[in-house]
Amino acid sequence: MSQLRSVRARNAGDDNLIPLINIVFLLLIFFMVAGQMHSPLEAGIALPESQKKGELPKRAFTVQVDTSGRLFVAGLVMDSALLQRELALPENQHRVVALQVDKNLKAAALDEVLAVLRESGVSSIKLYSRQGAES
């Protein structure tokens, strides 16, 4: 009889641990879903610095441009014609375009990218920068 009680006592401690494990997993899932996910910058893109802090768009169509003027969307290299086709898709027509441009890109190359966006009917563009040191 005493052996039966000791087995039940040991199992009761394990049963109390299961709700704690469930809560930990729920918290883990919550923070994974609620956390902000940013697409990484393509290799070699260095954003310009800014003193002003602004809000990032929630669901933006992100276009990255490196120093040579190459366009990247979702990690894929694109030319201007393919970018126009992507922007013409129904799910992308009313989205904000988040433009991540290398700080060393020439203004003429940036103007070409802006012309493509203008021709595609983009009405809202957010230009990304990184937070600079406070003065």
How many CB atoms are closer than 10 A to CB 98? 19
The answer to whether 44 and 66 are in contact (CB under 8 A) is: yes
Q: Which fold, 49-131?
A: Nucleotidyltransferase; domain 5 (3.30.420)
Give pLDDT tens digits for 79-111.
Answer: 888 988 988 888 887 778 888 888 888 888 889
Task: Name the pTM for this structure.
Answer: 0.59
Give pLDDT tens digits for 33-47.
Answer: 877 666 666 656 766
CA distance 76 to 64: 10
The pair of structure tokens assigned to 57 is 């768009």
CA distance 111 to 65: 12
The answer to whether 88 and 116 are in contact (CB under 8 A) is: no
